[in-house]
Amino acid sequence: MTEMVERIDDYGRPGWIALMVVAFILFWPLGLAVLAFLLWSGRMGCGSRHGGMWGSSEDRRARFENKMERMRERFEAWGGSSRDRGFPSTGNRAFDEYRADTLKRLEDEAKDFHSFLERLRMAKDKAEFDQFMSDRRSRGTENGQPSNDRPAPASN
**Rounded CA separation 129/52 (Å):** 28
In a domain, 113, yes or no: yes
Kindly state whether residues 104 and 41 are assigned to the same domain: no
Kindly state whether residues 63 and 44 are assigned to the same domain: no
User: What is the tally of structural domains in the chain?
Assistant: 2
Has residue 150 got a pLDDT over 70?
Answer: no
Render pLDDT for 85-130 as a digit per residue (tens, 0 to 9): 567 788 888 998 998 899 999 999 999 999 999 999 999 999 999 9
In a domain, 152, yes or no: no
* pLDDT: which is higher, 78 or 53: 78
Kindly state whether residues 73 and 98 are assigned to the same domain: yes
Render pLDDT for 17-28 as a digit per residue (tens, 0 to 9): 888 899 999 988
The SS3 call for residue 86 is coil
Query: Whole domain around residue 129: which residue ranges?
Result: 57-142
Q: What is the pTM of this model?
A: 0.35
* % the chain with pLDDT above 70: 76
**Rounded CA separation 85/89 (Å):** 11
Kindly state whether residues 44 and 64 are assigned to the same domain: no
